[in-house]
Amino acid sequence: MDITLENFETEVLRASQQVPVVLQFWAPWCGPCKTLGPQLEQLEQDYAGRFRLAKLNADENPEITQHFQVRSIPFVVAFVDGRPVDHFMGVLPDGELRAFLDRFVPPADDAAAEEEAPAEPEVPQPDPASDEELALAATVQASPGDLAARLALAEQRIARGAWEAAMDELLEIVARDRTFQDDVGRKTLLTVFEKAADQPAVVSAYRRRLSTLLF
């Protein structure tokens, strides 16, 4: 469904009162949009009517694009009951897209399909924190602006697979000073997203938090 200013209220806001609507902002010149579009179309088929995909040409609909403060595309907004409930920017792996959808798309009624669905892999637990990490954590707590200590703490947590705790520190670095060590907070976060690929829901949540800080 192609969305314009004329049908936005009917096809997105009102329609989302019946079934969740996923609205993709795109443009003909946008290469990543050409990757994400088919992914979402396939998922719309896979989810068998449990959500509705709509697309909006950002260049041709500047009023809506500006209203949602879209600064980069592809940009995706999910609507439920007539209001936006979640969003992300860029292209995501299939697992993260499904995790994004599953937060607001109702579950399938087909019990057999649920039984056949593969079990989610067990998430390994990180190793215990070392004395060095605990000391760094105390330093950061006492001096929140010590970004060097905060980065060292994040690296300790990355080394033992404590992804969420590490990403919390890296996000704080981005929020406090994007220029610190040549944007090391954001760059390290992107590396952690890859390392934590077996936890798509966690990665998706932190991607959105990073996107909020950057844009």
Half-sphere exposure in the Cβ direction for 197 (13 Å, CA): 8
Active site residues: 30, 33
Q: Give the CA distances from residue 81 to residues 21, 78, 84, 87, 104, in Å, rounded to whole numbers and listed in that order.
A: 9, 10, 8, 15, 11
| Residue 189 CB partners (closer than 8 Å, separation 6+) | 167, 170, 171, 174, 206, 210
The residues facing 26 across adjacent strands are 57
Q: How far apart are CA 139 and CA 54, in angstroms?
A: 49
Structure tokens at 60: 């041709």
Place of tokens 């010149």: 29
**Which CB contacts under 8 angstroms, 24+ apart, belong to 169-174?**
169/140, 171/206, 171/209, 171/210, 171/213, 172/144, 173/147, 174/210, 174/213, 174/214
∠ CA(145), CA(154), CA(120), 5° rounding?
A: 135
